[in-house]
Amino acid sequence: MNRNMERKNTLSLIVIGICMLVIIFLNSFLISKINIIIGQIIDFMKQKMYLEIHNILKYLLILLTAFFILDILQSLITKFFLEIYSALIKINNFNKILYLNPLHFQLSNERNYFTNVFLNVIENYCNCMTTFFTWHLVLILNGIVALVSLFKINHVCTLALLIIFPTFSIFFSRIANRIADSQTKIYKEQKEQINFVYSILKNIFKIRNLKIENFMLYKYKKYLELIFMSQKRSNLSDAFLSILSYLQKCSIAITLFLIGFLR
């Protein structure tokens, strides 16, 4: 029974992995299409062809809807992946694949830690997707700003802009600070993961009688730390701290959108 269950779960993992790759590819394809349409909108705005802009905006809305549907499918597939993964962990024979070294790591003691490591990987992926999509959302809203700027904005709308924009800025700055704090916690957990991987490699080399210098393993550990440190700098200083300016642009775009269409 355990073997049949293990085979079914393994096949399910393979199918789910293929589905996730297909969805990621479709997301990338849709994003490239969205970028092309944004470029077309800017070109048509220069020529002031309002009818063509209207048709392009409809097509853009369809693409965005498809993007969100694929994003929902991706989250559902990830949920099923986690459920199958938790089922695999309960199988004692599967611990050889999970830990590569059953002599030094017991399934009961290391299950929670390994699950947390896996969940952190998923969380980091979701954070990267969110940051990546925020950039494209800003581009779309900047296109809306360019559209609305074709209209004349009176003094009342300007005053409303001065009131609404700081409110959006304060709100988004708090969100950015919370994201930065969560990334700092993730970085601390990643350093623990590096030590975990390093200890696994050392034990594997000992069991299989592979002759390798500790200096090489130490260099590999430093290499992993360097990667995670560079990710920390990019996540905190480049992406998540600069997300504030992106969101401020979004707040300008939203405000101008409301001013242009609700005045």
Q: What is the mean pLDDT of each run of 10 residues along the chain (263 residues)?
A: 60 60 59 59 55 58 62 58 54 42 36 47 47 45 46 49 51 55 57 59 52 52 53 46 49 48 46
pLDDT digits (tens, 9 = 90+) for 149-197: 444 444 455 445 545 554 555 555 555 555 555 555 555 655 665 566 5
Residue 148: both structure tokens together? 């609305």
**Looking at residue 191, what is its pLDDT?**
61
Q: For 142-206, what is the HEC assignment? A: HHHHHHHCCCCCCHHHHHHHHHHHHHHHHHHHHHHHHHHHHHHHHHHHHHHHHHHHHHHHHHHHH
Q: Which long-range contacts does 74-82 make (Cβ < 8 Å, 24+ apart)?
A: 74/20, 74/23, 74/24, 74/27, 77/16, 77/19, 77/20, 77/23, 78/20, 78/122, 80/12, 80/16, 81/13, 81/16, 81/17, 81/20, 82/118, 82/119, 82/122
Q: Give the closest residue to 129 by CA, choosing from 253, 22, 34, 24.
A: 24
Strands (E) located in the chain? none
